[in-house]
Chain A
Amino acid sequence: MRRFLYENGLSLAFGAIFLLALVLQSVAGWREVIEQQLTHGDPAPGYWAFVQSSQFWLPVMENWQSEYLQFSLFIFLTVWLVQKGSPESKELGKEGAESEKDQQIGRHAGEDAPSWARGGRLRVAIYSNSLGLVMTTIFLLTWTAQSVTGWTVFNEEQRRHGQAAVSWIGYLQRPDFWERTLQNWQSEFLAVGSMAVLAIYLRQRGSPESKPVGAAHEATGVEG
């Protein structure tokens, strides 16, 4: 058990603080809804009813989709674009998908290579892009889930104000959908861009997200 905790500490720690934050978000969101309902003189939902509502899942999906978009873009753009001096970038001159030898695929695959890296053009092609494909799929699914939960919340507001409900397609053309989407995208783009740029001149000793403390500012694609 100690070995399991040691070898998987990073993913377990993030998993734990994710669940804690999600529970705290649900409690804070529920209390906010109670305050709003009391202000309007409406009956307040119970906690379990709230966590089974679109009011809770809409902001969850909003944030998930933007995070997966951020990583999907980062995965794909770093194949082709570089940033001199950044540990998040490949070395200058290595832009592109790189050779089979560099990527250890096909006849260059080692004995311990994943079987999908060894043979079959289609299998190698799929496995070569599997990380980006899965992250992009999660982005598209969570963005669609945001639109569906947002549609339900939007129509509930319409009903409250005595206005007609809109179709899902109609909701996709509403400012509400795009404001929720873009407010998350802009912050993710800034965060990932600043991570790539700030790490040119700043260091975090011991972190693989940083260059070694003594590395030159011009050193690119070097990890601590």
Chain B
Amino acid sequence: MPRRPTAGGRRGDVTHAPARGSPVRVAGNNLTMRVVFAAYLALISAGIVVAFVVGLTHR
């Protein structure tokens, strides 16, 4: 299910106390989030492209 942001992070990571329903910002390197985001989009895109190529070339 798509979720609204929820509280989380390791001790000492939370930079401010969240209001109810507000996102919690976790300090640190955001590069890893970008890596998994890009990896998922790449995986989905690759699957779609391969399926189109396979179908359109009548394999």
> Measuring CB to CB, which residues of chain A are less than 8 angstroms from any residue of chain B?
3-4, 6-8, 11-12, 15, 52-54, 57-58, 60-61, 64, 71, 74-75, 88, 112, 131, 138, 141-142, 144-146, 148-152, 155, 192, 195, 208-209, 223
Contacts and interface: CB of A to CB of B under 8 A. Distances in A.
Contacts of A6: 10
B56 interface: yes
Contacts of B17: none
Interface of B: 1-4, 6, 10, 25, 28, 32-33, 35-36, 39-40, 43-44, 47-48, 50-52, 54-56, 58-59
A74 B1 CA distance: 8
Contacts, number: 79
A64 B59 CA distance: 20
Contact of B2 (A71, A138, A151): A71
Contact of A75 (B2, B55, B56): B2
A130 to B, nearest CB: 12
B20 to A, nearest CB: 10
A60 B10 CA distance: 37
A216 B51 CA distance: 47
Contacts of B32: 3-4, 7-8
A138 B42 CA distance: 12
Nearest 8 CB-CB pairs, A to B? A148-B55, A149-B55, A145-B51, A57-B51, A11-B36, A8-B36, A152-B58, A4-B32
B2 A131 contact: yes
Contact of B47 (A4, A54, A64, A148): A64
Contacts of A12: 36
B4 A15 contact: no
